[in-house]
Amino acid sequence: MNDISLRDLRISHARYDVALNQMLEAIELAGSDGTCIPFLGPSRDGKSDLMSAVKSQVAKDRSGPGYMIPTPDFLSGVVSPKPNDAEIYASVIRTMGRVGANPKLSLLQDRMYDLLEQRDVRIVALDECSHCAEPGANLTRRAAADHFKTIVDRSGVILILMGLPKFQRLIDENEQFAARSMATIELHPYRWTNPDDRDDFTTVIYSIFDYLEEHGISLEFDWIDMSRRLFAASGGRIGMVIELLEVAVRSSTRNSVLAFSDMCKAAGVRLQGLSRLAPIFDPDPPQDDVLLRSYAKVMRDAGLQLPDPNSSLELDAFRAADEGALAA
């Protein structure tokens, strides 16, 4: 059973499908003059998996001028923590090879533009772009926005900028950058008090359970109960659910069996902040207030505005999240 992996399991669900279709449409309409497509959401909500699906559908092998070997025209990279001006260009260069020993900004800029042209690159997706909006960044938000703007202007590439919603500040504070950016695509967690969201979340969880059983794994727990616990553990993020189940499957001590005790162990290994909300995997199931606080914490940690509460219980959960944000 330990050979089974959920990492590459791609599950279609409501919010994923909406964001996927929005991204495919944005790429189709982007044209060839260069543009930015912001793609934002909380961590572990499935952005990377969705981008892999996009890449598999739209990437093509091309041979650019002066580069004989066919290479993909869709490249993926990551912006390092605490970036400076040079890191913006180095993050793009790393999608095509080594940055080199000389980190001088002008040399990195020239090399990046040369490589993009040589390989006839059409799309570059950069993850963790929200590092540019964090207090520890070694460049201003305006400078980061100007660099991204310049890249699309000079290269004509489609620049997909992925990260936490705090990246939206760069766009909102720079009119020229906003003018070169298409509408931000967002991937948000499911909300337990929304009946459609709750049904969609449960359907996804059941489909994962079905997948495990189809691969010979016996699930020794109640599916309805476990769905509630997984929502409390994930705050409504499908990506986090998959990671937690992946740990549980790998660490199970009995062949072809996934028990409640395995889920408890996985939660102790994988969960961090959310596990302190309440004992999610105690014998007694978590109450509704735990699920609501979990969702609110994920939204607040990501810098997203909480929706209008649907009940007094949700209002209390949202207030607790707001007080926690202020305390931090």
Residue whose entry in the numeric block shows the structure tokens 């707001």: 322
DSSP conformation letters of 256-304? TEEEHHHHHHHHHHH--GGGGTS-TTSSSPPPHHHHHHHHHHHHHHTTP
SS3 category, 31? coil
| Averaged pLDDT of the chain | 89
The pLDDT value given to residue 67 = 67
Distance CA 170, CA 165 (A): 10
DSSP state of 193: T
Q: SS in 3 state form for 124-164?
A: EEEECHHHHHCCCCCCCHHHHHHHHHHHHHHHCCEEEEEEC
Domain with CATH 3.40.50.300 in the chain: 31-186
pLDDT tens-place string over residues 249-302: 988 878 889 999 999 888 888 886 544 556 788 888 999 999 999 999 999 888
CATH of 31-186, one of 2.40.37.20, 1.10.132.10, 3.90.226.10, 3.40.50.300: 3.40.50.300
Q: Catalogue the E-assigned strands of the chain.
A: 35-40, 61-62, 71-72, 74-78, 123-127, 158-163, 185-186, 218-220, 257-259
* Averaged pLDDT, groups of 10, the chain, 328 residues long: 67 87 95 91 91 93 75 94 95 89 85 92 96 93 96 96 94 94 95 94 94 92 96 93 90 87 87 64 89 92 89 90 54
The pLDDT value given to residue 328 = 40
**Tokens at 105, concatenated:** 């900004």
